[in-house]
Structure 1
Amino acid sequence: MNVPVHIPEYFEDCELVAAEGLARDPAFWLAHVLLTMGDPGEQASRYGVDEAAYQDMVERLGDAGQPWPVLRVPFGGGHTAYAVYANFEDQSDVEFFVRHPAWGRLGHLGQCGADGAGPGLPWAELVHLAGSAEEGAEGLSDASQRLLLLLPMLGEADLPGEALGTVAGALSRCGISPDAVGELAAALLGDPDPAHDPRWTVTGGNPIAVCSSRYSPRQLPLALGITAPQSQALADALTGSQTHRQARRPGSA
């Protein structure tokens, strides 16, 4: 059953459907990372995924005649990150953004496709979002699935040493062959280039980090135009910093 998803600030003339059910299929995860970060023409069997199932998934995700699949990652404070497979007749993209129902706008992370834009997340935010599911909220709750869904938005000059193992573990838990996850994770993360890879800094009066890449929507603070309390709430939800501030408050345990 296709459950409609309504995003008031998104395209008015497109039909969106919840697609979290695809997350049970390893073919989806292989298609997702190869369509957004790799070569979708690779042989699926090398990753332990059935070739026919993989090709069917690629066709479904890019079918302009079907409602657009939407996968959601709910996180702290009522925020949600979205991945939308936006399939126009002449172009297909995967669009990533965050939303809060009180904003009246979207916060764009980036997109993968002909008009690619990004990165949209540093490593620390990606890992925090993966592990901060909102109980009872609609969308993905599994940390590995949440990490892989948002992985195409990662861009970071100084990835920590555990990044490769974290991504490889997520791939394995999502059904990719354990014999191939190390190689695939390395290919997805790429070779580090500290001189040119994006850096993230908090500057000025906005608590949300901005990105040094000129291709990133986050050259400006995410969801620019929301109120100062909303920006602080989003920064806290992206990083978990509220917990740390409370812990350091005078008189706290």
Structure 2
Amino acid sequence: MLIKGYLDGPLVAGESLLARPGFWPNHLLAMCGDGACAERPVPEWFGDDGADVDALSEVLFDPERWPVFRVPAEDGPGAVVIYRNLVGDYGTDYLLTHPDGSRAQQIAGREGDAPGIGLTWHELVRIADNPPAAADGAQDGAVRLLLLLPLLADADLPEAARERITVALTATRAPQDTAATTADHLLAHLERRSRHDPTWESPLSGSRTAGQRSGTP
């Protein structure tokens, strides 16, 4: 697989992994791994267990095959999530893509928190809710929302955000009786962001973006 503007790695389509047990803990528990959550993050928040997580980790973090999760959008920029399995430099890269197929633009890499860069809730929902009918990639709205949730950097969330994330979690096998609490855990990292941080930027607003691993300008 080739992605214009991204020069690293043996990329492979990863969408078939989205329904595998252990995917969502691998993808989302890192949001709570830096002390943002009062409780120790556990895979059971997503309806999985440690064995599920370990088994899928071997696939997700294979240096010979870097899974790519495509989230194209009908009416504007979409996104791509890449598991960058470079030995000694593991991480997750997030790229913006454009409907005309021009070069992708890296906006963030997750080796922890990425302050100052991210999407507003409105931007995140716009991408999640507008999959092109004929494009390759993730089509389900709940899956698309959760794939891009680590990019959320909006401290002024609407009341509906928590419920929307709760519904997305239950749609991807999280236990219904604890999904709302899991949503709170996932959003807890936003409380550490200043509501008036002058360095906060949305890459979709045309402002400056993060340093580019991909080599894009």
Normalized against structure 1, the TM-score is what?
0.70
What SS class does the counterpart of residue 17 from structure 1 fall into?
Answer: strand
Structure 1 position 49, deviation (Å): 0.7
Letter in 2 for 1:30: P
Query: Which of 150, 167, 170 is matched with 2:168 structurally?
Result: 170
> CA RMSD, aligned part only?
2.9
User: Paired residue for 1:33?
Assistant: 28
- Separation (CA, whole Å) in 2 of partners of 1:61 and 1:76: 28
Distance (Å, rounded) in 2 between the aligned partners of 1:198 and 1:143 = 30
Identity among equivalent pairs (%):
31
C-alpha distance in 1 between matches for 2:202 and 2:129: 24
Whole-Å Cα distance in 2 between the matches of residues 194 and 94 of structure 1? Answer: 21
In structure 1, the partner of 2:206 is 221
Equivalent in the alignment of 2:9: 14
Gaps in structure 1 of 5+ consecutive residues: 200-211, 225-253
SS in structure 1 opposite 2:72?
strand
Whether the 8 Å CA contact 2:92–2:109 is kept in 1: the answer is yes
User: Once the 2 structures are TM-superposed, how far is the Cα of residue 218 of structure 1 from its aligned partner?
Assistant: 3.2
- Structure 2: how far apart are the matches of 1:194 and 1:117? 10
Q: Displacement, 1:82?
A: 0.1
CA contact (8 A) 1:118 1:153 kept: no
Superposed displacement of residue 182, structure 1: 1.3
Provide the rounded CA distance (Å) in 1 between the counterparts of 2:164 and 2:202: 26
Secondary structure of the 1:177 match is coil
d(CA) in 1 for partners of 2:48 and 2:77?
33
Q: TM-score, normalised by structure 2?
A: 0.81
Q: Is the 8 A contact 2:155 2:191 kept in 1?
A: yes
Give the whole-Å Cα distance in 2 for the aligned partners of 1:24 and 1:195.
32
CA distance in 1, matches of 2:196, 2:57: 30
Residue 170 and residue 219 in structure 1: after superposition, are their counterparts in 2 closer, same or farther (change >3 A)? closer
Asked if structure 1 preserves the Cα contact closer than 8 Å seen for 2:45 and 2:179, the reply is no
Check whether the contact 1:121–1:155 (CA below 8 A) recurs between aligned residues. yes
2:166 partner SS:
helix
Q: Is the Cα–Cα contact under 8 Å of residues 24 and 46 in structure 2 kept in the other structure?
A: no
Long gaps (5+) in structure 2: 35-39, 210-217
Equivalent position of 1:187 in the other structure: 185
Structure possessing the higher relative contact order (Cα contacts under 8 Å, 6 or more residues apart): 2
Instruction: Give matches, 1:126-165, under 5 Å.
Output: 126-165=124-163
Larger Rg over CA atoms: 1
Deviation track 1:73-132 (CA, whole Å, cap 9, x = no partner) reads 110257431000001110211111112375753333312115846532100011111110
